[in-house]
Amino acid sequence: MDPSNWQTYLVTQESVSAGRSTLEIVEAAIAGGVDVVQLREKDTDTRFRYELGRELRELTAEAGVGLIVNDRVDIAQAIDADGVHVGQSDLPVSVARDLLGPDSIVGCSTGTVDAAEQAEADGADYVGVGTIYGTTSKDVAKHKDGVGPERVADVTDAISIPAVGIGGITAGNAGPVVEAGAVGVAVISAITAADDPRAATAALASTVETTKHVEHGGATE
């Protein structure tokens, strides 16, 4: 499981799924070509996340898709996930690393270059950079107060582990994030709130893929 291959990264949040289950959304995302799924589901109880996580592990393992658990190292271990993703208010990266050992993936949300450098120094395998377009999952149209794709460029210049962009990203605006150096993009709403989550995932994957090819073409010419 190598985060540098994570072009499309779904973060789950049933509350924005328009009544569809997270399992249904993840199934569609897998069909659409998602590379990794993060079990997040903030504001649900531990047992719910554990039970859901077991089901997601089955689905993702079958499809060869990564599974990361937000915040909870214990749930990650209990469901045999590939690793955890911690934010600045969660367990420190170094503690998550100690608990999980060297073979699990530890990712970290970082909004600044300093935080990204710290995450790398503490043993993170990848960072999430954002909020790129300053939105929340509940209001995808509000693209302000984001750090912008330029922050991705600053971060990827400073660290050697992969970065994914997160926050307000859609198939329509993912290009600049990848051009700035992100290996991929993480989304909640762009997939979860879409009328057709499978098509939305495929569109997102296509944007990332196409941008990388153009980038690569440009760099080698």
In the annotated binding site, the residues are: 38-42, 70-71, 90, 109, 135-138, 168, 188-189
CB of 43 to a second copy, least distance (A): 11
Give yes or no for a contact between 32 and 198, defined as CB atoms under 8 angstroms apart: yes
Give the Cα separation of 25 and 50 in Å (integer): 17
Question: Which of 178, 181, 156 is closest to 169 using CA atoms?
Answer: 178
Judging by DSSP bridges, how do beta strands 163-166 and 66-70 pair with one another? unpaired
Of the candidate spans 12-20, 83-91, 115-123, 171-179, the one that interacts with a second copy by CB under 8 A turns out to be: 83-91
Q: Which of 46, 138, 142, 213 binds a second copy (CB under 8 A)?
A: 46
Shortest Cβ 119–a second copy spacing (Å): 14
74 vs 196, beta carbon nearer a second copy: 74
Query: Under the criterion CB under 8 A, does residue 99 sit at the interface with a second copy?
Result: yes
- For residue 167, give the amino acid letter: G
CA angle 68/172/9 to nearest 5° reads 5
Kindly tell me which of 73 and 185 has the beta carbon lying closer to a second copy.
73
- The verdict on 88 binding a second copy (CB under 8 A) reads yes
Please list the alpha-helical segments (H only) found in 66-196: 73-78, 93-100, 113-121, 149-158, 175-179, 189-192
Give the nearest distance from C-beta 41 to a second copy in angstroms: 13
Sketch the per residue contact string, 111 through 150, with a second copy: x for CB under 8 A, - otherwise: ----------------------------------------
Identify residues 48-77 at the interface with a second copy (CB under 8 A): 48, 50, 71-75, 77
Dist. CA 26–CA 59, nearest whole Å: 8
| Among 119, 135, 167, CA closest to 9 | 167
Point out which residues bind a second copy (CB under 8 A). 45-48, 50, 71-75, 77-78, 88-92, 95-96, 98-99
